[in-house]
Each structure stands twice: as C-alpha cells, then as structure tokens.
Structure 1
C-alpha cells in the first residue's frame, strides 16, 4: 500500500515562514512513509489584495517553488501545492494565476494547473470578495498524470464543483 499525506497549514503574508512550515511538513510526512503530499491552494501566502501582485513577483515567492522542488527531490516524494504564479511579462501586470503545481520525486514540475473558476461574490450592501481583481483565470483542465498513488488530476475545489471539470 502506498501512503499519501494531506498537509494543512495557516499560510500568512510572510512567504519565508510558510516555506519553513511547508518543508517541515514534507520532511515529517516523508518520514512517516508518504510518497505523495498534498498542500492547499495558496500555500505560498495569504495576504490582502493590495499585496498580492508584489508578493507574487517577489524573489521570496520564486524561491518558494524552487525550495519545494528541492524538498521533493531530497525526500523522494511527490508534492502537490497551490501557489501564486506571475504571468508572462507581456500580460496583466497587476494580477497572477492561482496555480496548483504537481512536483515529482525528482523535483521536476510535472504539471501546472491554473484555476479556471474564480471566486467572485458581490452582495449589494454586504460581502464582496472578487478573486478576479487579483487573479487571471486559467483556460483549461489538465490531463491526469501518473503518481505513486495512481493517476492524479490536478485541480482546485472551486473548479471541481463546476460542471466544467466533468466535461473534461
């Protein structure tokens, strides 16, 4: 039997702290025999909308992905992790992609999935959360890829609940 782990953490606005916790969880799960470790959406950071663009484009955020790839390689585990991904320079300068990465046990990124269905709620006189203000929507679902626990279809909860994913 192959063991998978689900990691949970309360990411904040300091990427280095989120990285330290994430690497510790990878080490712990791998030490317990996990061959695949699943992290949540936005593991790299959770911050106010006004800070998302700068944090996404920071050296610390680029380092976050590099360090998780190195941890996957060191501990010989697959890692699925949600991060903020900057767009190509010619694209939207103020927004990013909400991306789920699948990293193999050699530290290679096997797949990048960009969230398609953004969470926008604007209730007149009440709650207003507009993910589209900071996030560029992805355009497609990705094909499942082999892993130690079977084929994995990388996605995010908002997309999985939509009819879009069932058509692909």
Structure 2
C-alpha cells in the first residue's frame, strides 16, 4: 500500500506580508526535510485575520506575490502545497466592482496550480460586550 506524509503547518501570522511569506516558505522547507509529501498552510497565512486586513492584503490570483512564492518553493523543494488561504481580490471591470474571497490554492510538486477553493461558509459571531466579527 502507498502512503503519503502530510505536514500541517501552524504559524503566528503578523501584520507584515513579506514576513508571513518567509515563514511559510521556511515551514515548507522544514516539512520537506522531515519527509513530507504535502505541506498544508493555515487559513489566511499571509495576513492577520481581520476584515480591514483582508482588504489591505488582498491579491488577484493571477498576479499574487504570495502564490508566486509558494509555487516557486513547491517546485524547488519537490513538494505539494495546499496554500491554506489568502484574501483573493477579484475585479469586475464591466460592473466596476471588487470582491474579496477567502481562497485556498493547491500546487503540485512542480509548482503548477492544480485548483482553488473559495470558502463558502463564512464565520460570523456577535457576543454582546465581548466579541464581534463578521467575515461574511
């Protein structure tokens, strides 16, 4: 029977995209060194989990600094990577609108994007006097 070794990467995300990308790359390298075939990065690994930061850090997938770096390291390290998620910016020039999605992207070990998934069930919470967050 064949087996696959999966590395689940958890990181402390900071308010600095470049530092978060560097940390993700480091974790992917460490995953490969430990024999992983697939590294899985956390949700919103390149930005703080805050609505305002989603807007600030959002990237179009086709021109994403974050995803270019992840694709490059996947190829260099010969490892599959599930890029947990990033805030994806989608522009509709025809209607002059912009939307932001919580999007995960999957790369093969040659750095090729195999697919993406936009989060469907968004997180909302409102506990009076304690916490309020509306991802939707």
Corresponding position of 2:86: 83
Q: Distance in 1 between matches of 2:4 and 2:132?
A: 42
C-alpha spacing 1:99/1:119, structure 2 compared with 1 (3 Å): same
Q: Distance in 1 between matches of 2:7 and 2:130?
A: 38
**Higher normalized strand content (fraction of residues):** 2
The partner residue of 2:124 within 105, 120, 126 is 120
Corresponding position of 2:19: 17
C-alpha spacing 1:13/1:47, structure 2 compared with 1 (3 Å): farther
Q: Distance in 2 between matches of 1:84 and 1:51?
A: 9
Q: Distance in 2 between matches of 1:4 and 1:124?
A: 40
Per-residue deviation, 1:41:
0.6
Per-residue deviation, 1:121:
1.6
Corresponding position of 1:63: 65
Per-residue deviation, 1:122:
2.4
Which aligned pairs between 1:36-55 and structure 2 lie closer than 5 A?
36-46=38-48, 48-55=50-57
Q: Given the two structures, how large is their TM-score scaled by the length of structure 2?
A: 0.84
Per-residue deviation, 1:124:
4.3
Residue by residue over 1:18-76, the C-alpha shift from the partner in whole angstroms, topping out at 9 and shown as x without a partner, is: 01111011111111211101111101111542232122149xx8211100000001111
Instruction: Give the conservation status (yes or no) of the 8 Å contact 1:99–1:114.
Output: yes
Q: Distance in 2 between matches of 1:70 and 1:114?
A: 22
Instruction: Give the conservation status (yes or no) of the 8 Å contact 1:121–1:127.
Output: yes
Which aligned pairs between 1:136-151 and structure 2 lie closer than 5 A?
none
**Stretches of structure 1 lacking an aligned partner (at least 5 in a row):** 133-168
What RMSD in Å do the two structures reach over aligned CA positions?
2.0
Instruction: Give the conservation status (yes or no) of the 8 Å contact 1:13–1:47.
Output: no
Give 4+ residue runs of structure 1 displaced > 6 Å after superposition. none
